Amino acid sequence: MAGVSAAPAPGTVDRRPKQDRSRATRQRLLEAAVSCLAEHGWAGSTVAVVAERAGVSRGAAQHHFPTREDLFTAAVEYVAEERSTALRALFPEGAEDRRVVVEALVDLYTGPLFRAALHLWVAASNEDQLRPRVTELEAKVGRETHRIAVDLLRADESKAGVRETVQGLLDMARGLGLANLLTDDRGRRERVVAQWTHLLEGAL
């Protein structure tokens, strides 16, 4: 367990710092796991590689995450939650301009988190051990992203077609993320986002 915490000196047990250190170690592992997945893909991502990257002993890593599947699904979930929180914090009062919201939503799909999630999804499509966990994770993250999009776009889902409009927008954002995987697609993406925001305004 070296790397999680030193053994406390006799009579000076201090539980808080130990928990804090454990939480910090866990967080370092999760962030290293997402970077590793984004850069090297599933085949190049093992608990040992991530532990080294995070500067944590392999034993400590395995204490936190007994299996490779545990580590990488937890990592994508953690980073997705961080991104969701950050996205809501960007618009604490809601946004006046829907284009800014659409751009921020599309940005969710063009960074290292999307690359990491994509590697995990694609690996899960061929690996039986991974598939149920990633399917569940994808549904959870998808629901949360949809909820954020509806709030930030001030979309009234009681109106016919609004729910599907928002869903299609997020599908488009995912497709734009895929188009950005091998090339820098920024210029085209900005023009598509501008036009689809215009279509969206008419529909909401």
* H runs (alpha helix) in 91-161: 98-107, 112-126, 131-152
Nearest Cα neighbor of 71 from 35, 95, 107, 97 is 35
Under DSSP, the state recorded for 182 is S
| Of positions 49, 95, 104, 203, contacts its own copies by CB under 8 A | 203
Among the listed ranges 4-12, 15-23, 80-88, 187-195, the one in contact with its own copies (CB under 8 A) is: 187-195
Alpha-carbon gap, residue 43 to 151, rounded angstroms? 37
> 56 or 114: whose CB is closer to its own copies?
114
167 binds its own copies (CB under 8 A): yes
192 in Cβ contact with 176 (< 8 Å): yes
| Of positions 108, 123, 149, 155, contacts its own copies by CB under 8 A | 123
**Could you tell me the smallest distance in angstroms from the CB atom of residue 131 to its own copies?**
6
28 in Cβ contact with 54 (< 8 Å): yes
Alpha-carbon gap, residue 170 to 98, rounded angstroms? 14
List binders of its own copies among 39-98 (CB under 8 A).
Answer: 39-41, 43-44
How many chain residues bind its own copies (CB under 8 A)?
48
165 binds its own copies (CB under 8 A): yes
> 23 or 143: whose CB is closer to its own copies?
143
| Of positions 26, 69, 115, 148, contacts its own copies by CB under 8 A | 115
Terminal Cα distance for the chain, rounded = 54
> 30 or 141: whose CB is closer to its own copies?
141
72 in Cβ contact with 37 (< 8 Å): yes
Alpha-carbon gap, residue 86 to 65, rounded angstroms? 25
111 binds its own copies (CB under 8 A): no
Alpha-carbon gap, residue 12 to 55, rounded angstroms? 27
Interaction site with its own copies (CB under 8 A): 39-41, 43-44, 115, 118-119, 121-126, 131, 134-135, 138-139, 142, 161, 164-165, 167-168, 170-179, 181-183, 188, 191-192, 194-196, 198-199, 202-203
